[in-house]
């Protein structure tokens, strides 16, 4: 049920995403569904929602507050493949 709700919300959010964000969203969410680290999962979801709401400045605040080791795990695990284009954006935060 949770997965269905997640997919439904992605479809709704997908209407406001750029093609690059759309290409990143599906694999990112699929990978996130298997993430065991609850804090990392919450961080990724929060940042994803903020980006889709056009609140990129608020993402910077979240990144600065987030655990540095977990941030590196996020970069290594999630900012690759179709999401690689967003890696530099996060590295500059």
Domain that holds residue 6: 2-91
- The residue among 52, 53, 50, 54 whose CA lies nearest residue 63 is 50
- Taking the model in full, what pTM does it have? 0.68
pLDDT of residue 87: 83
Q: Number of structural domains, the chain?
A: 1
CA atoms within 13 A on the CB side of 10: 19
pLDDT tens-place string over residues 50-91: 877 888 889 889 988 999 998 898 899 988 888 888 888 777
Site of tokens 């608020």: 58
Gyration radius of the chain over CA positions = 12
For residue 3, the SS3 value is helix
* 5-28 residue pLDDT tens: 444 454 444 446 778 888 888 888
pLDDT the model gives residue 12: 47
């Amino acid at each position: 049920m949770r997965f269905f709700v997640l997919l439904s919300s992605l479809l709704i959010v997908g209407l406001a995403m750029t093609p690059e964000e759309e290409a990143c969203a599906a694999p990112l969410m699929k990978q996130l569904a298997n993430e065991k680290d609850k804090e990392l999962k919450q961080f990724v979801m929060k940042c994803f929602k903020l980006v889709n709401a056009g609140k990129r400045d608020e993402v910077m605040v979240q990144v600065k507050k987030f655990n540095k080791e977990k941030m590196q795990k996020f970069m290594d695990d999630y900012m690759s493949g179709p999401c690689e284009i967003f890696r530099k954006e996060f590295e500059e935060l």
